[in-house]
Amino acid sequence: MSKRIYLCLAHMSGEEQKYIQEAFDTNWVVPLGPNVNGFEKDLEEFVNQIPGQAQNDDTLGKRVVALSSGTAAVHLGLLACGVGPGDEVLVQSFTFCASTHPITYLGATPVMIDSEPDTWNMDPGLLEKAIIDRIEKTGKKPKAIVPVALYGMPYKADRIMEIANKYEIPVVEDAAEGFGSKYKGQVLGTFGKFGVLSFNGNKMITTSGGGALICPDAEQWQKIMWYATQARESYPYYHHEAIGYNYRLSNVCAGIGRGQMTVINDHLAHHKHVQALYEELLADVPGIDVHSQPAGGDYDSNFWLCTITVDPSVRIVGQENAYKTIVKGAVGGAAGVIHMADSAHTDCEPNDNVEALRVFLDAAGIEARPVWKPMHKQPVYKDVPAYVNGVSEAIFKVGMCLPAGPCVSDEDVDYIVGKIKEAICLV
């Protein structure tokens, strides 16, 4: 196979060009305009679906602000919850750093919450334990809770919201990886006070770069819109009484998003199809387990990425050479490595067979990645409070992400599975 199979690569529908050209023809090449407004309305229609009701019936009443990134959405959601210096925010540890870094932007402290084994998401029991303990230790409640839809898998939204409501703590749902995922029929990002979406180039739909914040009502929508446009006051000149941010999505990028919204259901169906193929084709491979959603019908994951775990006993071709060289390219991100490490090892890393499998697949033209390294094991967060049970660290040692995007064909999945089998030493 001569082509390279990427983890999750955006696929254009053909509709995008129409909206992009319209932006240029009308000279709306700025962070506002008809495409931005239209994209927000498309998103509102999508997220406001109520389980069991037709699309034209009553909706959840959520409003959406299109922003420059999912990280910006996390930042503004926390800001609108009143997070500031000296506060604490309870956040899922098993996640990408965009869930946690905005907490520090605001001068607050992230408090890491470990995962449950079935969804790999925030453990509700640990969450409540952490709330009680933080109140006892600090004398005040945490300011917000940030659960994450890891790789698109829904978190136990009802249980998390029950705990949040019990202690009157607002929830900012990080559904950046979970656009279109549902829990008990309701779209993720619509349970909490705010919901975060991402349209990065590798997400379920893309605007090349971008995100959105789902707001509970028109009042909060207005507040977020104000913050996202430099907090300008209503005078005929620039007048500022608060610090704002340049976070609005451009009209050109929003045009891409409008085209992408015409194929979102196709993308969701494709990711689920790829997940089912992996489950079928890897079912008979000893030591390789595909992570699937819990049974029972409550979970409807978009399977943004398909993930596997590799038993420590599995031997991989070239395993003896794992971690012999320092990574210099792009692994697990869009950019290359800027800071060179002195050693290929850290105190928390995937097992040698997982790294060897990644290298083997890479040589075969297949992009695979380790799962996210838990935030409580990141050096930058070594001193923050963490409530851990060992789940995320254990998964990090054995977990791997496989390609699942719209450009991944059935033949690609056959090829990937074949290479995984080829990589396993049978003697």
Q: What is the pTM of this model?
A: 0.93
For position 9, what pLDDT does the model report?
74
For position 329, what pLDDT does the model report?
62
Strands of the sheet containing 109-113, edge to edge, are 144-146, 88-92, 109-113, 386-387
pLDDT at 28 over 70: no
Domains of the chain: 16-263 (3.40.640.10), 265-423 (3.90.1150.10)
pLDDT at 14 over 80: no
3: confidence class by pLDDT, cuts 50, 70, 90:
confident
For position 426, what pLDDT does the model report?
65
CA atoms within 13 A on the CB side of 92: 31
Residues in contact with 338: Cβ distance below 8 Å, sequence separation at least 6, in sequence order: none
pLDDT in tens, 136-173: 999 999 999 999 999 999 999 999 999 999 999 999 99
For position 162, what pLDDT does the model report?
98
pLDDT at 213 over 80: yes
Question: What's the average model confidence in pLDDT over 186-214?
Answer: 95
Positive or negative: CA dihedral 195, 211, 16, 409: negative
* β-strand pairing of 386-387 with 211-215: unpaired
For position 344, what pLDDT does the model report?
77
For position 187, what pLDDT does the model report?
97
Asked if residue 74 lies in contact with residue 59, where contact means CB atoms within 8 angstroms, the answer is no
**Average pLDDT score over the chain:** 92
